[in-house]
């Protein structure tokens, strides 16, 4: 079977890797189905502190959904099932309770751009190429992806990106706020690992609580889960990590957090 989603772990970091190199890491339907499994694996592993998304090889992050499947799987009565698999994949990535980082190089187009938008942080190599070409394909595009794009780059820029379906480079992605930083391609992975490792050294319960808070503040005040927020904050104060953090501060040393 061509194309797969694989995972790697080590040093507190977990990688979800989109591996379909022969098609610039285009996502097949089987890969969409595999994404929730990989996301759940990362979220449930206590040794994983930060989750990173990347494409295999050196040509693309993800060049979009695999269009060669559209005639068979994304038309007629099958289109709904395909879109359901697609939606579950995005929901799973958005639902990861740990900090997530997209490490982008080369093509980050269509579904690939949407995948990158599920991450908390995005870093790109200077060869990054971005686009959402749905209007050139005539396919329907869910409001969830557009809402996320508009929240990050603003409504006017989101409309321009979507309506024109044009490609833009890493420098413009940075200007729009789509990415946090542009790095020389040779330096990208080292920099992203440094950022991820720094995050992973912080208190996991605090990070999870903060991620929940960021997620909830995107909702209207009346729709926020204040009970879940309160429980997450309470768990921080009742944790061994909180006691360790205070001791480490007083002893002028780096805390050794265990996530409990």
- Which pLDDT score is estimated for 73? 60
| Dihedral angle sign, alpha carbons of residues 146, 170, 52, 219 | negative
- Which pLDDT score is estimated for 72? 66
75 with 183, same domain: the answer is yes
Q: For 84-126, what is each residue's pLDDT tens digit?
A: 888 899 999 999 999 999 999 999 999 999 999 999 999 999 9
105 with 143, same domain: the answer is yes
171 with 233, same domain: the answer is no
225 with 113, same domain: the answer is no
Give how far Cα 192 sits from Cα of 19, 100, 105, 220, Å: 19, 11, 12, 33
pTM: 0.93
217 with 144, same domain: the answer is no
- Which pLDDT score is estimated for 75? 59
166 with 220, same domain: the answer is no
172 with 207, same domain: the answer is no
Dihedral angle at the C-alpha atoms of 175, 181, 185, 186, nearest 10 degrees?
A: 150
192 with 240, same domain: the answer is no
Query: Rounded to an integer, what is the distance from CA 72 to the centroid of its chain?
Result: 28
170 with 230, same domain: the answer is no
- Which pLDDT score is estimated for 71? 63
Is 217 contained in some domain?
yes
177 with 240, same domain: the answer is no
Is 94 within 8 Å of 218 (Cβ atoms)? no
130 with 177, same domain: the answer is yes
Which candidate, 97, 110, 95, places its Cα nearest to that of 48?
97
Structural domains counted in the chain: 2
Is 91 contained in some domain?
yes
Spans of the chain, pLDDT less than 50: none
Q: For 26-54, what is each residue's pLDDT tens digit?
A: 999 999 999 999 999 999 999 999 999 99
Q: Which residues constitute the domain of residue 235?
A: 203-250
207 with 119, same domain: the answer is no
- Which pLDDT score is estimated for 221? 87
């Amino acid at each position: 079977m061509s194309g797969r989603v694989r995972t790697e772990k080590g040093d507190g970091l977990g990688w979800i890797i989109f591996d379909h190199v022969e098609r610039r890491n285009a996502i097949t339907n089987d890969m969409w189905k595999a994404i929730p499994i990989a996301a759940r694996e990362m979220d449930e592993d206590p040794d994983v502190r930060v989750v990173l998304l990347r494409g295999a090889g050196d040509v693309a992050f993800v060049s979009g959904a695999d269009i060669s499947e559209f005639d068979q799987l994304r038309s007629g009565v099958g289109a709904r099932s395909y879109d359901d698999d697609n939606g579950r994949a995005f929901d799973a990535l958005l639902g990861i309770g740990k900090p997530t980082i997209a490490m982008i190089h080369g093509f980050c187009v269509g579904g690939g751009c949407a995948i990158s938008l599920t991450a908390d942080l995005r870093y790109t190599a200077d060869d990054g190429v971005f686009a959402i070409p749905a209007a050139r394909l005539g396919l329907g595009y869910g409001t969830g992806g557009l809402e996320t794009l508009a929240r990050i780059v603003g409504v006017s820029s989101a409309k321009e990106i979507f309506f024109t379906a044009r490609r833009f480079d890493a420098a413009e992605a940075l200007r729009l706020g789509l990415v946090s930083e542009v790095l020389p391609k040779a330096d990208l992975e080292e920099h992203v690992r440094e950022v991820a490792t720094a995050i992973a050294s912080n208190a996991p319960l605090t990070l999870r609580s903060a991620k929940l808070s960021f997620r909830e503040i995107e909702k209207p005040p009346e729709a926020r889960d204040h009970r879940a927020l309160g429980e997450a904050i309470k768990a921080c104060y009742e944790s061994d990590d909180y006691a360790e953090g205070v001791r480490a501060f007083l002893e002028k040393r780096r805390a050794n957090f265990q996530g409990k």
